[in-house]
Amino acid sequence: MKIHPDGWPYIAITGAVNALLFAVVGWYGWLMAPLTLWCVAFFRDPERLVPQGDGLIVSPADGVLLPIVEAAPPAALGMGDSNLSRLSIFMNVFDVHVNRIPADGVVRTLAYRPGRFINASFDKASEHNERMSVRISLAGGGDLTVVQIAGLVARRIRCDLKQSELVRRGARYGIIRFGSRLDVYLPPGAIIAVSKGQRVRAGETVLATLNKKE
């Protein structure tokens, strides 16, 4: 099983503590074994089969789709205040937390904003929580926004993207520790292919298409 590089320090610490418990208290060390195994599972980074085809927008995260709303994208990205369709994905602590690029394009703007740590399943988390916003100019025209949002437990957002970087659909670009949310603001005219409560998988589930042919 592939592990995200950010996970090795945590796995090493929990593994060492678990081994120490076994050495000191014997079989009682098994009480911590579930935590050690969970730490390994949390940082798993499985391969994904990215769907092919023009105009596809795939999920940037594993999790459950929250209610779909109309909202303005983060002001720091310079996209205006017009409402766009926003798809929000809530990740619990058992989901894969490696984030992936939703669509082919070029990174136009990156905007980090510190903030609060409200439960990521609440709608107000999109506005008030710590977040990292990315504006991507799509290969077929238009802009898409994806926002990593810290949650009640998650306190570390990692984004490996750089401005003007060429990105590909399904490519890994970051991770959030431990349990959080990602918002996707779709370009005007995008046709939504998912619904509230649906489980989605990063890099595989098609969230929307950019034209009726797809």
Catalytic residues: 180
> Are 147 and 99 in contact, with CB atoms under 8 Å apart?
no
> How far is it, in rounded angstroms, from Cα 43 to Cα 116?
24
Angle of the 33-42 helix axis to the 8-25 helix axis, nearest 10 = 170
> Are 185 and 85 in contact, with CB atoms under 8 Å apart?
yes
Which tokens go with 209?
Answer: 């298409």
Nearest one of 139, 145, 100 to 126, comparing CA atoms: 145
Q: Which residues pair with 101 in a beta bridge?
A: none
> How far is it, in rounded angstroms, from Cα 64 to Cα 92?
9
The torsion of the CA quartet 196, 172, 155, 16, rounded to 10 degrees, works out to 120
> How far is it, in rounded angstroms, from Cα 170 to Cα 118?
28
